Every structure is written in structure tokens, then in C-alpha cells.
Chain A
Amino acid sequence: MGIYLPIAEISVNVFVLLAMGAAVGFLSGMFGVGGGFLITPLLIFYNIPPAIAVATGANQVIASSFSGALSHFKRGTLDFKLGGVLLAGGIVGSTAGIYVFALLRRVGQLDLFISLLYVVLLGTVGGLMLVESVNALRASRSGAAPVLKKSGQHNWIHRLPFKMRFRASKLFVSVIPVLGLGAGIGFLSSIMGVGGGFIMVPALIYLLKVPTNVVIGTSLFQIIFTSAYTTLVHATTNQTVDVILAFLLMAGGVAGAQYGAKAGQKLRGEQLRALLAMLVLAVAIRLAVDLFVTPPNLYSLTAAGLN
């Protein structure tokens, strides 16, 4: 069944989009990630213009992180204060990102920049995760107990000024790295259409030493608002949010997420992480190949005077 997307201005198959949403929802439920980093490239592979894929991806991320954050809120595994400071940084980063987005679009380099960012970030994160999980798998096979990082360990981040106390996270840390992290994620959110959970979660755990139980809830909490803000600004400055497209993805996504979560419980942590790492790397490689392969048409047309 075909449907016409009013903003993307192309006809697409409803079932393909629902299935895409469900598949990404399944994976995001299984791995506990937002899925924005998969949705946006998939939409681009499906010939949705990158500018629209990014803005709509941000919109879709709200739905999955909202339903995720709700359950963490009920369980009390959410640090509002930490989330709030991250969010303050996020708004700044996202505003800067939107500005860069509009600028790149005007000079015709947006598609390239989005692809490059995806290749670099997904390649790095996927590669690190794969190495880490393969090591963990090897260690558990040889019977050695996994080496846990001591939570009391301090690094350079803990020597920065402007310290603030975050009670729910049992943390006393400078606001600079928290704001910076929020800003970085906000920037990526507006340019890549991702929630940023796949960077936020490891950064909170390894850099700020936030207890693992509050990490996901807090990350989801801040992602809701950063992507809501990103969606709003994209809608007003670039008019690139396609609600029909977003809704189809969300509808498939929320359904898929529940089954994914169940499937995730049957697999072990290291296996899950290794699988996710391979998936992330596969997306990065696919995008990288497109950068190097001679395009079928060297010339492209765009309406002049955008923005």
C-alpha cells in the first residue's frame, strides 16, 4: 500500500516503513538504545532526502525514549538534576547544530557531512564495543572473573572546578563535563537525527562514573527533551519534519520494542553487545561504501535560495 509523504514529497510503501520501525524498535528494545542511529541511515537508504530523514528521526526518537523514560520514572531510576544539567547543555548544542545544519544545506554539503559523521561515529563506537565485548566473551570462556572498574577511581574530570552534588547518582562532580557532554549530544541530535544514547550511556558510565542503574533512565530523560527541542527547531527553521513518516516509524517502533526487550532477556550481556557492535559497524560500512562508489549521476539539482 503506497502512501504519499507530504514533506518528503515522495510515495513510499506503508508496510516497508512499519516493518522498518518494528525492526529498529525490536533492536532498540533488545539493546536498550533509542534506535535513531539506525532509523536515519535506513531512511536515507530508502531514498528519503537526508535533511528530512534527520529531522524525522529526531521526532521518532521522542516516542521511544518517552516510553522508556516512563518506566524508569516509575522505578525511580532517573536523576532529574543530572538530566536537567545535561539538558541545559543539550539545548545549546542543539541550537548550534541546527545553525550548522542550515548552513551546510545552503552550501550543498549537508548529505556528505551527515554521512561522514555517521561513518566516523558509528565506526568508532561499533569498533570499540566489538573489541570490548569480544574480550569479555573470551574472558568469561576462560573462566576468569570480569575485571570491574573501581567506582572510586578518579580521573582528570574530577579535578575540574564548579562542582555540583547529584544526590540520586551519588555524585559530586564539576558541571563543565556534564554541560559539555549534553552540548555534544545535542549537536549530534540536530545534525544526525539521533537521540545520542549510544554515546551518552558509555560517557556517563566511564567518564562521569554515574551508577549504571540510573544511567539509562537519565539518558532517556534528557534525550526526550533534546530531541523534542531539535524537532521543534527543525520544524520551524527547515520545515523538514514529516509527521506521517514519523508516525509510521513510531507505530512500528513501540510495538517492536516490547518484543525486542523480551528477546534481549534471553541473551547474555556480552553477546548482546557484540551483536549490536556488528550491527553498528555494518551500517557504518554501508554508508562508507556509498561515499567512495562513483554515483550514478554526478550532477544534482536543488532549489536555490533555501532558507
Chain B
Amino acid sequence: MAARRAFAAAVSLSMLFALSPATAQTPPAESIQIGLSTDAISITAGFSGADLTIFGSLENPDPLVARQGRYDVIVVLEGPPRPVVVRRKDRVLGVWINLDSETFENVPVSYSVATTRPLQDIAEPAKYKQLSLGAQNLYMKPADETDSPATIEEFTAALRDRKAATGLYSENVGGVQFLSQNLFRATVRLAPNVPVGTHKARAFLFKSGMFVKESSAQLEIRKSGFEQSIFRVAHDYSFLYGVFAVSLAMLTGWLGRLIFRKD
């Protein structure tokens, strides 16, 4: 319903500003498409972060609006949702102890945003809240909703702050560039500690501050290499892994004695 209203508003705006005769008929609706060159990327153990480039295009853009730069695109790469516990340390008898905590359901592990302009210049804050778009506007659902709103707000802010500090939530203003009237390129940051799993790339098209359309694509991020095999074995065959760890230790101890012993 809201989307349709926004769309209608966008159409009327375009009729106001676009004075070309083409608008006399119903203009074809603008939409947005993004494409990923691959649906899965493997990152190796030595991965130290990278930029991921996503290409996209506007369909049926209004040439005049495009020329005036009133189309804005926001691209988000959202990591898989996971439950998270946020804990706060407090001083008890001089010692810092984890006391209060708040659990949130389905928090995206990572959230990288690329935009054509600063978020506040593209649309009204209320719009972002409605779309749950942007790290500051993401809705974090507390597991226990009976907690006081002030507490929930405090821990939500702390959650966003910690995520931003570890680079998992990032914002790349100017990361979306129009290459032509139709074509754009978005650069989102992958943090060194980017989580594995199914990530969702979403592109939002705004026209003169109004939300027009959204398009999404999925991207699988997996880790590859020797270290990842170890990780998988440790989780899937944990008992055998333990036996291996113990045997390796005994072998090292025995070899160490053979090689270095002086008696």
C-alpha cells in the first residue's frame, strides 16, 4: 500500500517536472535491476577485506530526472541474520563484570551500505525507518519485549556501535556511481571478518526523495582452503578432531624428545 502511494507520488512528480511530450501518455514505470557476476564467492584464510562491486541498471529512467541527478540508489549487502546477546559490564566491588544483557533476534551479522549521496540528502528519516534501511534504521527485534524501552534503546545503540567498530556495519557514501543514464556501479565493503553464509544484495531506487523500487539478489560467501577444512572437521567430526589433536600433541612430544634430548 505504502509502496503504491510512493509510486503514485513519484509518477505525479515526474509529470510535474518532465515537460517533454512523452509524459502526456502514462510514462513507463522506472525500475531497478542488479546483477552479480557470480552467485558465490570463496574467500581464503588470509582474506583481509575487499570491495565488492555490484553492477545495476535503471529501467525506463526519465532522461530529465536523470540529467538533473535526482535519481538516487542505495545498495545494501546484508549478511545472514543471527541472534545476538549484547552484554554490558558494570563495576562490582571494583571488578568489571558482565551484568545486564539483552538478546536480539535476527540481527544481520554484517551490513554494508553504498549510496550515491549521504543518506540524509536522499530521503526523509521516516522513509528509512519504514523501509528498515541503513544501519541506524535497521529494526532489531529484542527477544524479551517486556524490557523497558530505554534499556532496549541503549542496547540497540551499543549493538550498532560494536558492529560498526568491527567493520561489519559500514557505509560507503558515494559508493554508488552512475556510469551512464542507466548503468550504475556500487562498491560495498566486505570486512575481513565477513561472515560466511547467504548474503542478500538489495538495491533501492529513489527519485527526488521518494522510494520507487527495490531489487535483490543473493550471494553466497564461503571460506575456502585448508583452514576452512579444519574448521568444518572440528564442527562436523568433533570427536575424531579431538582424537587427532591429542595424537598430534603426543607425537610432537615424542618427536621433540627424539630430536632434542641430550641424555
Contacts and interface: CB of A to CB of B under 8 A. Distances in A.
Interface of A: 2-7, 9, 11, 59-60, 62-68, 70-71, 108-109, 112, 224, 228, 231-236, 239, 241, 243-244, 246-247, 250-251, 253-255, 257-258, 262, 291-295, 297-305
28 contacts: A4-B46, A6-B230, A62-B253, A65-B253, A70-B253, A70-B254, A108-B87, A109-B98, A228-B249, A231-B246, A232-B246, A235-B239, A235-B245, A236-B239, A250-B256, A257-B256, A258-B256, A258-B261, A258-B262, A295-B89, A295-B96, A299-B89, A299-B159, A299-B162, A300-B86, A301-B159, A301-B162, A304-B82
Contacts of A234: 242
Contacts of B241: 235, 241, 243
B263 to A, nearest CB: 7
Interface of B: 45-46, 48, 82-90, 94-98, 101, 103-104, 143, 155, 158-159, 161-163, 165, 192-193, 227-228, 230-231, 234-235, 238-239, 241-246, 248-250, 252-257, 259-263
Name the prevailing secondary structure of the A interface residues: helix
Contact of B254 (A11, A67, A239, A295): A67
A262 to B, nearest CB: 7
B238 A236 contact: yes
Nearest to A262: B262
Among A4, A60, A228, max chain B CB count under 10 A is at A4
Contacts of B230: 6-7, 243-244
Contacts, number: 176
A108 to B, nearest CB: 5
A87 to B, nearest CB: 15
Contacts of A250: 248-249, 252-253, 256
A108 B95 contact: no
Contacts of B163: 301
Contact of A298 (B88, B94, B95, B255): B88
A303 B98 CA distance: 15
Contacts of A224: 250
A260 to B, nearest CB: 11
A148 to B, nearest CB: 28
B83 A244 contact: no
